[in-house]
Chains A and B, each alone.
Chain A
Amino acid sequence: MQRIGVFVCHCGSNIAATVDVAKVAEMALMEPGVVHAEDYQYMCSEAGQAKIAEAVHEKNLTGVVVCSCSPRMHEATFRKAAERAGLNPYMVEIANIREHCSWIHKDMEEATKKAVILMRAAVAKVNLNTPLKEGESRVTKRALVIGGGIAGIQTALDIADAGYEVDIVEKTPSIGGRMSQLDKTFPTLDCSACILTPKMVEAAAHEKITIYTYSEVEKVSGFVGEFTVDIRKKARHVDMDKCTGCGVCQEKCPSKKAPSEFNRGLNKRSAIYTPFAQAIPNVPVIDCDNCIKFKTGKCGICAKVCQAGAIDYEQQDEILTEKYGAIVVATGFDTINLEKYDEYAYSQSPDVITSLELERVMNAAGPTHGHLERLSDGKAPKEMVFIQCVGSRCSDDRGKSYCSKICCMYTAKHAMLIRDKYPDVNVTVFYIDVRTPGKNFDEFYRRAVEQYGVNYIKGQVGKVIPQPDGKLLVQASDLLDNQQILKEADMVVLATAIEPNPDVRKIATMLTASIDTNNFLTEAHAKLRPVESPTAGIFLSGVCQGPKDIPETVAQAGAAAVKAVGLLAKDKLMTNPCTAHADELLCNGCSTCENVCPYGAITYEEKEVNDHGIREVRRIANVNNALCQGCGACTVACPSGAMDLKGFSNRQIIAEVDAICR
């Protein structure tokens, strides 16, 4: 028989305001096995933990139930407290009477009744708990960063500087990401490339960093400390070792009709290309869909002009298999598709562009060589209109419910830059709210209004109508003056909502990392573990976790790197002791469990067993504790009921069911 202590937490008034905690403690004493029960203001405090230790010693407790917040919050805290008091940490169970009770119920009597039942279920479980021992597993001292934008580059640099090997896998032909497409950055108006490219070069030159561009993660197996990852290196059709990056192939390529991804499709590029001049690596790739040689078999000009003989039309995709201890996801974002926002005439007029396209237009290396001009006729605009919140803060399913966070600031930046360079251009911004939380952000926005005379109008744009003379008629409402506005503009810029990179869903599934309804990766705790995924060994860097600007991305990248380094610095990890095990007298060697195990943790062995005095050799399931992750699939699949899960055994769960239905 266990000797159980029950500790009921007030959590200040979080629990005590709706649950009669003294009553829960009183009722606990009537439960089988309970020899001690008390309530206290904050069980998680040092004094609260000391109470547990004291009771363990004085009453010789063999089990502990803490009625408090979610086990996802403080289970580890209380287990450690019990361990310090000399108890096996797995003899502690939590009854969640805060998130699952006091916070969602208002009636004190009802909530108290429920809290008592939850306490009973936990006591019933602890009565059947057995001491468990953690195993150990190795840590591969190498990290993988998925995504080579500023988030991925910074994470990789920080991990590498701490002395660990890092691999970056980037899908596109060059690292750099979205930041490489930006012209200037707010709120200091630094040139984006000037601050990014040194980092790219540093990453490429770092002896601890290996960069796989034009590559994708294909398969992930294993678990924290020992991930095995297949990386597909897509065929570049250019030999990375031979290519000197002279660029002659791109000049001579006769197929120059492919839309440039880097310039957001605003101009064309050759079929053999590097995305931009500062690309790293400076080795082109052949886009087979647009290459004449691949389409018709006749051409081969690039191979003829290449002095280094680097062109290789026969090159095939290559699969690399590498082992990693930690994985950082830094897959970034893209702007949403605007097909559902036809009222802004984005598909009808080339003079309606997204803000990211405007970045390219304003950039010296962009399609207009940095001259602000209409993409339809190349004329300089006189009237520019910016429309905010296109697809952000949207209440219907056309757009996103969240605020994209960066648009208010980059629009102020665009407006300011345009007014600075072209003082005769009028700039009007239609906004719902201007949101500028951030260091020096509001000052920046006010400068745009006060110093640069940007015309901000609170109101939404209903429609943009292309006129026969090439102008754009903007129909809007002014909410402050309560009037309708009709405004002629030469160019309209849409502050398009951002969304996580579409590939992130596939990657999250491979990593078994959870994802929210907007496809942002979920953090382990919204406040306290913002750069970790709930899946151990997976870390989050940059916009894949939620909208953020560059300084926040860089800060989070560093945080993710430190978390990854903290993991890599360990020689061994303690493994979850809640693993499956087979009762050798019940196991009939049918292999059902082996087939359902997602980790290949179950093997069979011929073993001599003593079945009620009869000794015979039987084929019996054997669980490898280092591989078993404790999901329990095998326990239910087992037709003879031989498989059970430590910590969540059949008897324990049934005891909980019984306690709840009592």
Chain B
Amino acid sequence: MSIEKKEFRPKIVAFCCNWCSYAGADLAGSSRLGYPADVKIIRVPCSCRVNPMFILRAFEKGADGVIMCGCHPGDCHYSTGNYYARRRMTLLFSMLDYIGVENGRTRVEWVSAAEGVKFSDTMNEFVEKIYSLGENVRLGDLRCRS
């Protein structure tokens, strides 16, 4: 019996706010600016809608990286949402790092609706980083692993 060696394909969740970064991702798409298929986007109205619980849940369910994108500081559709998000994520990410989910697996990036190139570049970079870090086992619920 041989053990089949599986190629590592990371699971990456991207939370994108409806007004800037989701539109930026759309622009990356319509401009055919590719990035790896490992990234799956979840649309939220604003980066401030991203509950730290969602990110913990993703890691628990086997995500290898989570990235959150919002409007640039000062440009939030709801004026102040991304400021809340920024503060929350700073705290959450340092807590995650403390318990062993490296900082490279989490990222906050500001992408405007006009920045298709930035969206694609960011995702390429982020995925590359996750590949270099390898599989995330720290928070994973082993029952979710195939």
Contacts and interface: CB of A to CB of B under 8 A. Distances in A.
Nearest to A101: B37
How big is the B interface, by class? 35 or more
B75 A509 contact: yes
B81 A653 contact: no
Contacts of B120: 104
Contact of A660 (B13, B28, B75, B115): B13
Nearest to A629: B78
Contacts, number: 160
A70 B116 CA distance: 14
Given A633-B78, A648-B49, A654-B54, A106 B34 contact: yes
A218 to B, nearest CB: 15
A211 to B, nearest CB: 29
Interface stretch (A2-10, A327-335, A513-521): A513-521
Interface string A506-546: 00110010111100001000000000001100000000000
A512 B78 contact: yes
Contact of B57 (A100, A110, A657): A657
A193 interface: no
Contacts of B76: 512
A514 B81 contact: no
Contacts of B41: 96, 100
Identify which of B28, B62, B75 gathers the most chain A CB atoms within 10 Å of its CB. Answer: B75
A628 B52 CA distance: 22
B104 interface: no
Contact of B112 (A107, A522, A596): A522
A71 interface: yes
Contacts of B126: none
Contact of B84 (A96, A98, A103, A596): A596
B54 to A, nearest CB: 6
Contacts of B18: 72
A648 B44 contact: yes
Contacts of B40: 114, 117-118, 121, 660
A654 B57 contact: yes
Interface string A566-600: 00000000000010000000000000000010100
B130 interface: no
B112 A514 contact: yes
B58 interface: yes
B120 to A, nearest CB: 8
A54 interface: no
Contact of B113 (A534, A645, A656): A534
B61 interface: yes
A111 B144 CA distance: 23
B72 to A, nearest CB: 9
A578 B78 CA distance: 14
Contacts of A654: 53-54, 57
Contacts of A312: none
Given A100-B41, A509-B75, A514-B20, A653 B112 contact: no
A535 B19 CA distance: 9
B18 to A, nearest CB: 8
A644 to B, nearest CB: 10
Contacts of B57: 654, 657-658
A96 B39 CA distance: 13
Contacts of B108: none
Contacts of B84: 596, 633, 636-637
Chain A interface size, under 10 / 10 to 19 / 20 to 34 / 35 or more: 35 or more
Contact of B49 (A118, A515, A636, A662): A636
A517 B48 contact: no
Contacts of A98: 29
A105 interface: yes
B77 interface: yes
A103 B19 contact: no
Contacts of B113: 514, 516, 522, 534
A104 B29 contact: yes
A499 to B, nearest CB: 15
Given A117-B40, A633-B48, A636-B88, A508 B75 contact: yes
A630 interface: yes
Nearest to A633: B48
A62 interface: no
Contacts of B96: none
Q: Which of A114, A117, A630, A661 has the most CB of B within 10 A?
A: A661
B26 interface: yes
B69 interface: no
Contact of B25 (A100, A113, A535): A100
Interface in B44-97: 44-46, 48-54, 57-58, 61-63, 71, 74-81, 84, 88
A30 interface: no
A71 B80 CA distance: 24
Nearest to A634: B48
B144 A661 contact: yes
Contact of A631 (B28, B53, B78): B78
A631 B49 CA distance: 6
A598 B49 contact: no
A657 B56 CA distance: 10
A635 interface: yes
Contacts of A96: 26, 41, 43
Contact of A516 (B13, B51, B112): B112
B144 A72 contact: no
Given A103-B30, A514-B20, A654-B54, 13 more contacts: A96-B26, A96-B43, A99-B28, A103-B32, A512-B77, A514-B113, A598-B79, A629-B78, A632-B49, A635-B49, A636-B88, A650-B53, A660-B40
Interface of A: 70-73, 96, 98-101, 103-107, 110-111, 113-114, 117-118, 121, 508-509, 512, 514-517, 522, 534-535, 578, 596, 598, 629-633, 635-637, 645, 648, 650, 653-654, 656-658, 660-662
13 contacts: A72-B18, A72-B23, A100-B41, A103-B32, A104-B29, A114-B37, A514-B19, A514-B113, A632-B46, A633-B48, A636-B49, A658-B57, A660-B11
Query: Ordered nearest first, which 7 A-B pairs have the shortest CB separation?
Result: A99-B29, A632-B49, A516-B114, A661-B61, A631-B78, A633-B48, A631-B46
